[in-house]
């Protein structure tokens, strides 16, 4: 083994260490120097989370052997603020904080380094240059807009165009609801101090590695790990035989074993795991495990899966059906008969990877009380605890799940993929055990968005009314059930869109196959079915020579509408949202027949210029404009808030604490969307103190009350209401004591901004004094609790009727695209996104969700595609599974509509998921407007665009010939 003596200056300090020559700079920084602000998102140069300065130049530390860094000067993100969260932050870091540029935060240290490099190289860099220079850094959450805004702000401060003070002072509001209060978790993110699971180290910790199946479907004949145990440093090997309790997990059906039991059902399924003193020993031991497989016939598509005689994936489901959801309203045949025409089209969506930049990671250990604890970025600690207790056969209070900061989830971290292995290994070895997935592992084994084929029939009357909609959706659920059942339900309920349709027939089917499992992904199936609806409406509008907004206005739901599940809606903001998008985008009205010709509303000011790499440096344009056409499309959407068709609930405890501060305890799981800031705002507003005086204790099943999962756009709706109710509960108690002290009635009291007073008198105290009175003189600790419930009802199994949600939100987006008809490349230049969110709590946070959702939608519309051949993932790195970069994103104009929910104490609804639903069809409809081609299969890659253009040309030439 070759060792190297490294002498380098790291963050201003001389470092001298002997390391293996094969160590990468990133390992050296993270493992040897504990500088964990540098993150490993991909390990292959494809994401930029590992960016550091080497001799003043920005580099990707995952691509550099540390031996090459010998003698260099290295700076990491920790250096910017003096290695401490308390240090003075740089202008770039402060600007990121102020502008709300961080969400999950995983990309942020790398982004901050890249931004610093841009401004060092060119302190006057213009927006387009900034984007170009940050092209090597991927962000999956923010859509880049706020990041680029932040860099521009830092630049302006450096050039004294803006006063330095704007970075330090948060404009003071007394009313915290509706104010863009700065994110409370941003400082830890911009300084690289926040520790994600993979950054954590415990004394005596072992590293775990997993042996994964090379086959899509095979019987396990034998597993021999005797030689693995011989490897020095190896502590234990576990297989399915080591599961102490009832094996099986899943969001709906518990059909997935902790490790393959008897057979493997997809490539990459865990078969065994090894724990060793270090990673190298664990990897070596994994290689020495001998598994004998007997391959079984496998099934890779839904048509084969449902055919008689198909290979059976799970014995309990001999027809490979996971779930069928039917919805029936009226009589579709009568509706079609009444229609002036019936459109029939088939759509196909692709499997999509969540691509959170933080790969799955976790630490499991058994604490001194014998409680089995798993720290991991789990989106659903509540449910994971229940399942783990069964798997481990332990009482529920002997299992504890703690959510570590989540570096992006989007639904992908709802499945309990590895937490079971960690717990079992910790129990078996008696040591803390850590597992960090590689990017390849993460993409290969985590669940995808369900690829779905949608067969659509829509009957439309002459006046534009939809007379009947019939959808048959068939989804590939992959090898395990995961969230398929729920996804089928949401896909069905929301499928026909926010339109008043008298006759509806919907069937969604999820099937088992031997592909990578499909599961929860932002919008939970609604994106797929609503995409097809919105393209169908564009087709219908064109046929009727109607403006696409007009056909939606005609059919759109209004107050009192009856949904497809026969629920009566009280307050429907849809028409308002439509109008806002139309006005905001200055849409030029008119039928779609003008398509392909130059519209007057194109190329306005609120779009970005199309990207041409290196164009800034050139005197002449590299290639003429010919072949490039622009167009606009629009689409609308709706979405249900909180868990579907089942009672939803969340709880919180609050204590008014010494010094006029407060503790809020709730099992909330922040996954980057900003819920902690929202809760601080709500609690501050209710208690009459300031958000910075709120301490939130979250994410721990042993220390905070249940608040359930981060998903279903439910956090603000459910948990903020629970916190508000808990605060009101405290205030009731507290106000009674203070009123008694002042000898007034409690309802004479009011509190705000850290003071409590008696209305219309000069009696007043600071909250700090009041808490001291309450405790010291009245002997009462001011504590309270709150629980909020949304009383949803299940769907009827036959006709699907029911009240799946009490709150609905609506959206409408316009997209402007440029299509290169020579190459088929598509760029999205502008998006106008109008969304109803109920009552806005933090506008900056809402914009962040819209921008991030739009860019995820863009990725799904144009480029992202998880490809498999015979169950083997082909695109399991960020080189082949490609994500939008800063150069690909449009200018996003967010338009926020407030239609408070009458049933919710706060009035707020939500925005986490819905923003990406209309983006995909809006882009697809815009491509049609620009180039006259209609794509029905996603994504609209240059291949498909060019093929469609050629077909169109051929058809035109053909029809010319025929005419001649």
Interface ranges with ligand FAD (CB under 6 A) = 45-46, 879
Least distance (Å) from ligand FAD to the CB of residue 879?
6
In this structure, what token pair is assigned to residue 48? 């930029």
Q: What is the rounded (10 degree) CA torsion for 243, 245, 246, 252?
A: -90
With binding defined as CB under 8 A, does residue 614 bind other proteins? Answer: yes
Among 37, 41, 43, 691, binds other proteins (CB under 8 A): 43
Alpha-carbon distance 596 to 720, whole Å?
Answer: 47
HSE-CB at 373 with a 13 A cutoff on CA atoms is 20
Let me know how long the chain is.
Answer: 964
Least distance (Å) from ligand FAD to the CB of residue 63?
7
Query: Which residues between 860 and 919 bind other proteins (CB under 8 A)?
Result: 862-863, 865, 867, 872, 874-876, 878-880, 882-888
Query: Which residues between 118 and 137 bind other proteins (CB under 8 A)?
Result: 132-137
With binding defined as CB under 8 A, does residue 439 bind other proteins? Answer: yes
Q: Are 922 and 635 in contact (CB under 8 A)?
A: yes
Long-range contacts of 941-944 (CB under 8 A, 24+ apart): 941/824, 941/862, 941/863, 941/865, 942/823, 942/824, 942/825, 942/826, 943/824, 944/824
Q: Which is nearer to ligand FES, 107 or 641 (CB)?
A: 107
Least distance (Å) from ligand FAD to the CB of residue 60?
8
Least distance (Å) from ligand FAD to the CB of residue 622?
17
Least distance (Å) from ligand FES to the CB of residue 105?
5
Alpha-carbon distance 200 to 403, whole Å?
Answer: 13
Least distance (Å) from other proteins to the CB of residue 24?
6
Q: Which is nearer to ligand FES, 27 or 929 (CB)?
A: 27
Query: Which residues between 801 and 820 bind other proteins (CB under 8 A)?
Result: none
The closest of 943, 631, 689 to 818, measured between CA atoms, is: 631
Least distance (Å) from ligand FAD to the CB of residue 23?
18
Q: Distance of CA 397 to CAs 408, 420, 664, 701, Å?
A: 28, 16, 22, 9
Looking at 97-105, 139-147, 212-220, 831-839, which segment touches other proteins (CB under 8 A)? 212-220
Q: Which is nearer to ligand FAD, 46 or 818 (CB)?
A: 46
Q: Are 389 and 396 in contact (CB under 8 A)?
A: yes
* Residues near 84 by beta carbon (within 8 Å), at least 6 away in sequence: 191, 193
Least distance (Å) from ligand FAD to the CB of residue 887?
13
Q: Which is nearer to ligand FES, 59 or 773 (CB)?
A: 59
φ, ψ of residue 662 to 5 degrees: the values are -145, 150
* Residue 105 binding target from ligand FES, other proteins, ligand FAD, none, CB below 5 to 8 Å by type: ligand FES
* Count of residues in contact with other proteins, rule CB under 8 A: 86
Long-range contacts of 599-603 (CB under 8 A, 24+ apart): 599/631, 599/632, 599/929, 601/632, 602/630, 602/631, 602/632, 602/816, 603/630
Least distance (Å) from ligand FES to the CB of residue 522?
13
Alpha-carbon distance 90 to 191, whole Å?
Answer: 9
Alpha-carbon distance 108 to 281, whole Å?
Answer: 32
Least distance (Å) from ligand FES to the CB of residue 618?
29
* Residue 865 binding target from other proteins, ligand FAD, ligand FES, none, CB below 5 to 8 Å by type: other proteins
- How far is Cα of residue 17 from the mean position of the Cα atoms in its chain? 40
* Residue 888 binding target from other proteins, ligand FAD, ligand FES, none, CB below 5 to 8 Å by type: other proteins
With binding defined as CB under 8 A, does residue 825 bind other proteins? Answer: yes
Query: Alpha-carbon Rg of the chain, whole angstroms?
Result: 28
Least distance (Å) from other proteins to the CB of residue 304?
21
* Residue 21 binding target from other proteins, ligand FAD, ligand FES, none, CB below 5 to 8 Å by type: other proteins
Q: Which is nearer to ligand FES, 63 or 342 (CB)?
A: 63
Looking at 15-23, 178-186, 316-324, 722-730, which segment touches other proteins (CB under 8 A)? 15-23
In this structure, what token pair is assigned to residue 850? 């819209």
Least distance (Å) from ligand FES to the CB of residue 24?
9
* Residue 695 binding target from other proteins, ligand FAD, ligand FES, none, CB below 5 to 8 Å by type: none
Least distance (Å) from other proteins to the CB of residue 619?
7
Least distance (Å) from ligand FES to the CB of residue 191?
14
Interior/surface letters 38-63, b for 16+ CB within 10 angstroms, e for the rest? bbbbbbbebbbbbbbbbeeebbbbbe
Q: Which is nearer to ligand FAD, 46 or 899 (CB)?
A: 46
Q: Are 690 and 634 in contact (CB under 8 A)?
A: no
With binding defined as CB under 8 A, does residue 941 bind other proteins? Answer: yes
* Residue 104 binding target from other proteins, ligand FAD, ligand FES, none, CB below 5 to 8 Å by type: ligand FES
Least distance (Å) from ligand FES to the CB of residue 142?
5
Among 91, 611, 710, 817, binds other proteins (CB under 8 A): 611
Cis bond upstream, residue 902 (ω within 30): no
* Residue 134 binding target from ligand FES, ligand FAD, other proteins, none, CB below 5 to 8 Å by type: other proteins
Q: Distance of CA 738 to CAs 224, 745, 769, 785, Å?
A: 70, 9, 10, 19
Alpha-carbon distance 636 to 918, whole Å?
Answer: 5
Q: Which is nearer to ligand FES, 110 or 633 (CB)?
A: 110
Q: Distance of CA 708 to CAs 418, 701, 719, 802, 834, Å?
A: 19, 10, 9, 23, 29
Alpha-carbon distance 685 to 804, whole Å?
Answer: 31
Coil/strand/helix, residue 805:
coil
Alpha-carbon distance 190 to 151, whole Å?
Answer: 13
Q: Which is nearer to other proteins, 735 or 820 (CB)?
A: 820
* Residue 496 binding target from ligand FES, ligand FAD, other proteins, none, CB below 5 to 8 Å by type: none
- Name the residues that contact ligand FES, by CB under 6 A: 40-43, 45-50, 60, 62, 102-108, 139-142, 357, 408, 672
Least distance (Å) from ligand FAD to the CB of residue 439?
12
* Residue 180 binding target from ligand FAD, ligand FES, other proteins, none, CB below 5 to 8 Å by type: none
Alpha-carbon distance 552 to 705, whole Å?
Answer: 43
Taking CB under 8 A as the rule, which mask of x and - marks residues 44-83 in contact with other proteins? xxx-x--x--x--xxxx--xxx-xx---------------
Q: Which is nearer to ligand FES, 42 or 286 (CB)?
A: 42
Looking at 139-147, 255-263, 277-285, 640-648, which segment touches other proteins (CB under 8 A)? 277-285
Q: Which is nearer to other proteins, 530 or 864 (CB)?
A: 864
Alpha-carbon distance 12 to 74, whole Å?
Answer: 8
* Residue 267 binding target from other proteins, ligand FES, ligand FAD, none, CB below 5 to 8 Å by type: other proteins
With binding defined as CB under 8 A, does residue 266 bind other proteins? Answer: no
Q: Are 664 and 697 in contact (CB under 8 A)?
A: yes
* Residue 165 binding target from other proteins, ligand FES, ligand FAD, none, CB below 5 to 8 Å by type: none
- Residue at shortest CB range from ligand FAD: 45
With binding defined as CB under 8 A, does residue 1 bind other proteins? Answer: yes
Three-state secondary structure along 481-502?
Answer: CCCHHHHHHHHHHHCCCCECCC
Least distance (Å) from ligand FES to the CB of residue 40?
5
């Amino acid at each position: 083994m070759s060792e190297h003596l490294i002498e380098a200056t790291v963050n201003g300090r001389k470092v001298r260490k002997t390391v293996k020559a094969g160590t990468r700079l990133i390992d050296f920084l993270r493992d040897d120097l504990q500088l964990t602000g540098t993150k490993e998102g991909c390990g292959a140069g494809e994401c930029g989370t590992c960016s550091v300065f080497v001799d003043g130049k920005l580099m990707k530390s995952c691509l550099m052997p540390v031996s090459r860094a010998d003698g260099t000067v290295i700076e990491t993100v920790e250096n910017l603020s003096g290695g401490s969260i308390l240090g003075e932050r740089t202008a770039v870091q402060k600007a990121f904080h102020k502008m709300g540029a961080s969400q999950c935060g995983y990309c942020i240290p790398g982004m901050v380094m890249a931004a610093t490099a841009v401004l060092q190289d060119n302190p006057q860099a213009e927006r387009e240059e900034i984007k170009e220079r940050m092209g090597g850094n991927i962000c999956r959450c923010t859509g880049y807009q706020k990041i680029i805004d932040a860099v521009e702000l830092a630049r302006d401060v450096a050039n004294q165009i803006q006063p330095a003070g704007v970075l330090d002072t948060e404009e003071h509001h007394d009313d915290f609801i509706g104010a863009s209060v700065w994110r409370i978790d941003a400082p830890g993110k911009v300084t690289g101090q926040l520790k994600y699971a993979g950054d954590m180290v415990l004394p005596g910790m072992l590293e775990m590695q997993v042996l994964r199946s090379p086959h899509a479907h095979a019987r396990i004949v034998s597993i021999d790990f005797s030689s693995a145990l011989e490897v020095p440093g190896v502590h234990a090997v576990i297989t399915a035989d080591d599961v102490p309790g009832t094996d099986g997990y899943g969001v709906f059906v518990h059909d997935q074993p902790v490790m393959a039991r008897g057979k493997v059902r997809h490539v990459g399924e865990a078969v065994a795991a090894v724990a060793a003193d270090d990673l190298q020993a664990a990897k070596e031991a994994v290689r020495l495990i001998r598994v004998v497989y007997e391959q079984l016939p496998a099934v890779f598509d839904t048509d084969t899966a449902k055919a008689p005689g198909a290979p059976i994936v799970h014995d309990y489901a001999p027809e490979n059906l996971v779930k069928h959801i039917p919805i029936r309203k009226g009589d579709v045949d009568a509706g079609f008969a009444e229609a002036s025409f019936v459109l029939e089209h088939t759509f196909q969506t692709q499997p999509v990877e969540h691509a959170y930049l933080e790969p799955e990671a976790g630490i499991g250990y058994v604490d001194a009380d014998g409680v089995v604890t798993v720290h991991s970025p789990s989106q659903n600690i509540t449910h994971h605890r229940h399942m783990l207790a069964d798997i481990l056969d332990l009482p529920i209070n002997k299992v504890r799940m703690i959510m570590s900061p989540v570096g992006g989830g989007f639904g992908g971290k709802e499945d309990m993929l590895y937490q079971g292995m960690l717990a079992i290994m910790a129990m078996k070895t008696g040591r803390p055990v850590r597992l960090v997935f590689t990017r390849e592992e993460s993409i290969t084994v985590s669940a995808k968005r369900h690829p779905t084929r949608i067969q659509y029939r829509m009957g439309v009357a002459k006046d534009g009314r939809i007379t009947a909609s019939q959808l048959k959706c068939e989804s590939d659920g992959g090898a395990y059930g995961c969230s398929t059942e729920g996804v089928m339900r949401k896909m069905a309920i929301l499928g026909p869109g926010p339109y008043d349709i008298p006759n509806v027939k919907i069937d969604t089917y999820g099937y088992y196959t031997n592909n990578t499992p499909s599961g929860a992904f932002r919008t939970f199936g609604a994106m797929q079915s609503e995409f097809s609806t919105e393209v169908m409406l564009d087709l219908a509008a064109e046929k009727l020579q109607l403006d696409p907004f007009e056909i939606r206005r005609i059919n759109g739901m209004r107050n009192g509408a009856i949904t497809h599940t026969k629920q009566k809606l009280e307050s429907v903001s849809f028409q308002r949202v439509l109008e806002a998008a139309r006005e905001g985008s200055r849409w030029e009205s008119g039928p779609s027949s003008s398509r392909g010709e130059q519209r007057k509303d194109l190329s306005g000011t609120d779009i970005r210029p199309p990207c041409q790499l290196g164009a800034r440096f050139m005197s002449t344009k590299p290639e003429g404009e010919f072949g490039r056409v622009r167009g606009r499309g629009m689409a609308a959407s709706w979405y249900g808030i909180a868990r579907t068709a089942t009672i939803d609930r969340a709880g919180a405890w609050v204590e008014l604490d010494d010094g006029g501060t407060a503790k809020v305890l709730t099992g909330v799981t922040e996954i980057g969307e900003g819920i902690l800031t929202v809760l601080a705002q709500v609690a501050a507003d209710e208690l009459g103190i300031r958000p910075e005086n709120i301490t939130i204790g979250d994410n721990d099943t042993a220390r905070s009350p249940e608040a359930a999962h981060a998903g279903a756009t439910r956090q603000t709706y459910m948990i903020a209401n629970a916190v508000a109710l808990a605060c009101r509960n405290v205030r009731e108690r507290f106000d009674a004591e203070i009123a008694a002290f002042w000898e007034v009635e409690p309802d004479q009291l009011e509190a705000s901004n850290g003071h409590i007073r008696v209305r219309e008198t000069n009696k007043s105290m600071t909250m700090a004094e009041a808490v001291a009175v309450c405790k010291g003189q009245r002997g009462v600790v001011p504590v309270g609790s709150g629980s909020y419930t949304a009383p949803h009802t299940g769907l009827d199994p036959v006709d699907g009727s029911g009240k799946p949600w009490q709150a609905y939100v609506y959206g409408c987006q316009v997209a402007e695209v440029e299509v290169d008809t020579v190459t088929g490349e598509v760029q999205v230049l502008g998006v106008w996104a109008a969304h109803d969110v109920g009552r806005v709590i933090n506008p900056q946070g809402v914009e962040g969700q819209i921008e991030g959702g739009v860019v995820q939608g863009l990725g799904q519309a144009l480029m992202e595609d998880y490809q498999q051949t015979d169950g083997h993932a082909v695109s399991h790195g960020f080189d082949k599974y490609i994500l939008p970069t800063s150069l690909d994103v449009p200018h996003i104009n967010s338009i926020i509509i407030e239609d408070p929910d009458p049933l919710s104490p706060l009035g707020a609804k939500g925005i986490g998921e819905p923003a990406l639903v209309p983006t995909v069809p809006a882009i697809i409809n815009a491509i049609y407007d620009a180039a006259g081609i209609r794509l029905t299969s996603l994504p609209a890659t240059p291949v498909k665009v060019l093929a469609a253009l050629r077909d169109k040309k051929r058809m035109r030439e053909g029809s010319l010939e025929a005419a001649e």
